[in-house]
Amino acid sequence: GKNTDLEALMEWLKTRPILSPLTKGILGFVFTLTVPSERGLQRRRFVQNALNGNGDPNNMDRAVKLYKKLKREITFHGAKEVSLSYSTGALASCMGLIYNRMGTVTTEAAFGLVCATCEQIADSQHRSHRQMATTTNPLIRHENRMVLASTTAKAMEQMAGSSEQAAEAM
């Protein structure tokens, strides 16, 4: 059945060493959204822990405010627009509320929330790389490039290996 497929996928996701806990949490949230019969599914602790907004009560307060707005949003774009004005921590906490069944929103609104979260993360990574690139010392700049190339290569190797494992598992 579909639930056993999702359980296997979640177990596989949990064991990916290259992914950050937040990335695993977001992917776990998305995988759960894609299965219509997830009612009887066990909630996974690695997803819950990643989506708790680092335990910051400010994130939880903002997440509740965002959730109330998302309840009124029915379109993907509307939900994404509303979500983009919140911090990554608040967005993750809001996903956590929905994941833990403390609230329900439309699938479109949930995907808008996910998309906004990914955009926030990408923006912050882009800013940190840009700061690295503006360093005037050529040795430091070269080292930064080498580290970036190395981590990118490792991530790509890991993804290639894990997609082969996933294909074998299916």
Tens of pLDDT along 110-159?
Answer: 999 999 999 988 887 766 666 666 667 777 777 777 777 777 777 676 66
Q: Give residues with Cβ within 8 angstroms of 43, minimum separation 6.
A: 99, 100, 101
The domain spans of the chain are 6-131, 134-169
Contact between 125 and 88 under an 8 Å Cβ cutoff? The reply is no
d(CA 138, CA 19): 30
Q: Give residues with Cβ within 8 angstroms of 102, minimum separation 6.
A: none
* pTM for the model: 0.70
pLDDT at 108: 93
Secondary-structure percent of the chain, ordered helix, strand, coil, rounded to 5: 80, 0, 20
Work out the mean pLDDT of the chain and round it to a whole number. Answer: 82
CA 79 remoteness from chain centre: 16
Tens of pLDDT along 4-17?
Answer: 688 888 999 999 98
Pick the CATH number of 6-131 from 3.40.50.300, 1.10.10.10, 3.40.50.1820, 1.10.10.180: 1.10.10.180
